[in-house]
Chains A and B, each alone.
Chain A
């Protein structure tokens, strides 16, 4: 079967760095997405990786290793507003999005 694994919950301190991991086993691969979802809000797009390596966008970076079936989202200089759930999703060979259950990130002062 197809599976996306990410930690259920993480806690970090304001100003620090946190890495949220995502491992996947899917039938084929056409890219990996990260979305952010604040409580009671719509998920919003953060990043899309289809080639190996690190993509940086301001305080957020996303890394992909296709051979390892692994990605991470790196958040630097954490702010209280970064408290949210982070969703990992993989586009499989049929161009279907397979979603993880999300990682709830709690930022403490």
Chain B
């Protein structure tokens, strides 16, 4: 248990579906992140939120839409995905968004787009 919980753990969706990934942290952290992890590739930072404000958007396609309703919850809304979007999606949190403090990761959602 890392203090960061992601649901669902596994998700299979068609290219026309709409789904959402959920992340929750109980560590009192101010920053939350979405990462994409593909096999044998570096972690790709998708979005960063600090105190519920988005501070980073690394050229992510609009078919991925984040939402941060409060400092403990983070969502990633998915629609019209492509097969190449199949990957492990990791949520993380840290005390601050400047990255000096360690990040705590959730176990990820394994997404398969068919």
Contacts and interface: CB of A to CB of B under 8 A. Distances in A.
B57 interface: no
Interface residues of B, number: 20
Interface string A29-42: 01101000000111
Contact of B106 (A31, A42, A45, A89): A42
Contact of B40 (A8, A43, A48): A8
Interface of B: prevailing SS: loop
B100 A30 contact: yes
Nearest to B6: A42
A42 B45 contact: no
Given A30-B100, A31-B100, A97-B45, A42 B40 contact: no
Interface of A: 4, 8, 30-31, 33, 40-45, 48, 87, 89, 91, 95-102
Interface of B: 2, 4, 40-43, 45, 56, 90, 97-100, 102-108
